[in-house]
Amino acid sequence: MKVTEHLERRKGTLFSFEILPPLKGKGIEAIFEGIDPLMEFEPPFINVTYHREEHAYKKYPNDMLKRISIRKRPGTVGICAAIINKYKVDAVPHLICGGFSAEETENALIDLHFLGINNVLALRGDPIKSETTFVPDEGGHKFAEDLIRQIVGLNKGRYLHEESENKERTDFCIGAAGYPEKHYESMNMKTDLAFLKQKIDAGAEYITSQMFYDNEKFFAFTKKCRDMGITVPIIPGLKPITSLKHIAFLPKTFHIDLPDALSDALVKCKTDAEVRAVGTEWCIAQSKELMKAGVPCIHYYTMGRSQAVRDIAKAVF
């Protein structure tokens, strides 16, 4: 079933979450261990992220340099198939522009269609660590809007290098990302919302937000979307703060601010356990307020660790 169909048929606020593929060398059980504790809350769909392969150059005794993969995660397509088979829930693979040509993207979409997966979240993706700005692969897309248009094209039977439109049509439900505190590359919120509107006009059918810790920013973001004619469902994304490392890592990496009340409580914490207690309670309060406001679904970013999200879900759902 499509994400939009789940949202249309809901009787209350839905619970969903996102997982990371494990690093190479780990088996599928590493995925299941993170999912199992959350299945009691009956998520209608589970998102599976995609991370670009990272490379380095290794120097050999003859002074030759060889490009090697130093960080690679197993294929998102295969993980989605495993999730559907084991849990009988829908999987939402992330598709990114970075690291793919348009032809490779089409091949991935053909595989997803063959497996009966009809949901995708279309993202540009981040620059690799050696790049200061995003650089698409040769023949790849520069913007998420272009990726969305390619997916829409397949839904209409338009394949690359094919003149005929008599090919089998796909039926993907396409999600896009939204940023309550704006994307860090945008000049301001106005320009960021304009880019978001272009993604919706290109064919995206719902929005999942970047994490945030101030609900008022999400409510303001939603209102601005509605005021400019964006009518698709908007799903808030939450991530509980669970360690001392998160205090600096999350704002820096995701370009978000922490409210004064939250930061005041966190600076008093001396251990990860204390941080986790504060972060969990804050996320519970956020979730309850969002549910009271009638959001269609709350999407939790687990980052491979599900216990904190389970504690929150038990208090909320």
The residue segments making up the domain with residue 132 are: 3-316
| CB-based contacts of 203, cutoff 8 Å, min separation 6 | 148, 149, 151, 152, 155, 174
Q: Rounded to an integer, what distance in angstroms lies between the CA atom of residue 226 and that of residue 296? A: 15
Q: Mean of the pLDDT values across residues 21-39?
A: 84
Total tally of structural domains belonging to the chain: 1
Structure-token pair, residue 162: 């094919």
SS3 sequence, 125-157? CCCCCCCCCCCCCCCCCCCHHHHHHHHHHHHCC
Residue 55 has pLDDT above 60, yes or no: no
Q: Are 232 and 205 in contact (CB under 8 A)?
A: yes
CATH code for the domain of 89:
3.20.20.220
How confident is the model at residue 63, as a pLDDT?
61
How confident is the model at residue 165, as a pLDDT?
59
- Say which range, 20-24, 189-193, 292-296, has the weakest mean pLDDT: 20-24
Residue 191 phi/psi, 5° resolution?
A: -70, -35
Residue 82 has pLDDT above 70, yes or no: yes
The number of CA neighbours under 13 Å toward the Cβ of 89 is: 24
Q: What angle do CA 14, 308, 299 make, to 5 degrees?
A: 25
Distances in Å between the Cα of 304 and the Cα atoms of 23, 27, 82 are 11, 14, 16
Q: Mean of the pLDDT values across residues 181-198?
A: 95
DSSP at 235: E
Q: What percent of the chain has pLDDT over 70?
A: 88
How confident is the model at residue 73, as a pLDDT?
42
Structure-token pair, residue 139: 């023949």
> What are the start-end ranges of the H helices in the chain?
3-9, 29-35, 76-87, 102-114, 144-155, 189-202, 215-227, 244-254, 260-266, 272-292, 307-316
Residue 61 has pLDDT above 80, yes or no: no
- Between 108 and 99, the more confident residue is 108
Q: What percent of the chain has pLDDT over 90?
A: 73
Q: Rounded to an integer, what distance in angstroms lies between the CA atom of residue 235 and that of residue 177? A: 10
Length of the chain: 317
Q: Mean of the pLDDT values across residues 38-53?
A: 89
Q: Mean of the pLDDT values across residues 183-188?
A: 92
> What are the pLDDT digits (tens) for 147-159?
999 999 999 998 9
Structure-token pair, residue 183: 């994307």
Distances in Å between the Cα of 75 and the Cα atoms of 50, 138, 153, 166 are 8, 21, 24, 30
Mean pLDDT of the chain: 89
How confident is the model at residue 69, as a pLDDT?
45
Reported confidence tier of residue 94, pLDDT bands at 50, 70, 90: very high
> What are the pLDDT digits (tens) for 254-300?
999 999 999 999 999 999 999 999 999 999 999 999 999 999 999 99
Residue 83 has pLDDT above 80, yes or no: yes
Residue 126 has pLDDT above 90, yes or no: no
Q: Rounded to an integer, what distance in angstroms lies between the CA atom of residue 170 and that of residue 194? A: 28
